[in-house]
A = this chain, B = another copy of it.
Amino acid sequence: MNYIITIGREFGSGGRELGKRLADELHIPYYDKEILEEVKKRSPYGMTYIEEVSEKRPYSIPTLHFGNSFLYYKDVALEQNIDVHSLQNDILKEIATKSSCIIIGRGADYTLREFKPFNIFVYADMDSKVNRCKSRLKEGENITDKELIKNIKMTDKKRKSFYEFYTGKKWGDKSSYDLMINTSNANIKQMAKNIADLIRDIYKDN
């Protein structure tokens, strides 16, 4: 059985953990940061830059006008950003062509649409996301709930903006997904088993 599964997720909802566990359950490879490593190999860009732009919408500087003439310039920042996105898409398609896979984020549901993937969106209540983020802080790391909420909202705002720019669809809206699951207070290990069963049965019937 060839499973192509994509997972969109709110920051702090446990989408990454769910994806990893789902990959274990279905015995298929899982890709998240691995895609960025591959972009790095194929491009002149450093990891910090790739990480920065890989799920970020590019912003173009408006063209300048002087009287009736245009001041032509190359928007290098924009071109590099689109370059990373394009490489990322090539890699996603290569992965999906080769074998089953679970892809986290990156608008993969849209990039891989010709493969008819099973698209999941993972979300949770803010309290649950804050608690999850707190439980993952490193020792000695200090951050208030207020700051955490600000980070969560900012990250999701970027993801939404990236997704909607490249796909023309609404991030987190049911029209793009086969399954949307709220992980508030959930045991994600058990949830991954149940979702793996559900997906196995759906693939069996189609």
A52 at the interface (CB under 8 A from B): no
For A179, A181, A185, the residue with the greatest tally of chain B CB atoms inside 10 Å of its CB is A181
Q: Give the chain B neighbours of A180 by CB distance below 8 A.
A: 174, 177, 179-181
Q: Give the chain B neighbours of A195 by CB distance below 8 A.
A: 198
* SS of A interface (majority): mixed
Q: Give the chain B neighbours of A121 by CB distance below 8 A.
A: 174
Task: Considering the complex, give the chain B residue whose CB is closest to the CB of A119.
Answer: B182
Min CB distance A20 to B, Å, is 19
Known contacts A180-B179, A205-B190; decide if A123 and B198 are in contact (CB<8 Å): no
Number of residues of chain A lying within 8 A (CB) of chain B: 26
Q: Give the chain B neighbours of A205 by CB distance below 8 A.
A: 185-187, 190
Question: A201 near B206 (CB under 8 angstroms)?
Answer: no
Min CB distance A92 to B, Å, is 22
User: Contact string, A155-190, partner B, CB cutoff 8 A, digits 1/0?
Assistant: 000000000000000001110011111101111001
Question: B186 near A202 (CB under 8 angstroms)?
Answer: yes
* A178-B181, A191-B198, A194-B201 given; 7 more Cβ-contact pairs under 8 Å: A174-B182, A177-B182, A179-B182, A180-B181, A186-B205, A191-B202, A194-B197
User: What would be 17 A-B contacts, judged by CB atoms less than 8 Å apart?
Assistant: A121-B174, A172-B174, A173-B173, A174-B180, A174-B182, A177-B180, A177-B182, A178-B182, A178-B184, A179-B181, A180-B181, A186-B205, A187-B201, A187-B205, A190-B205, A193-B201, A194-B194
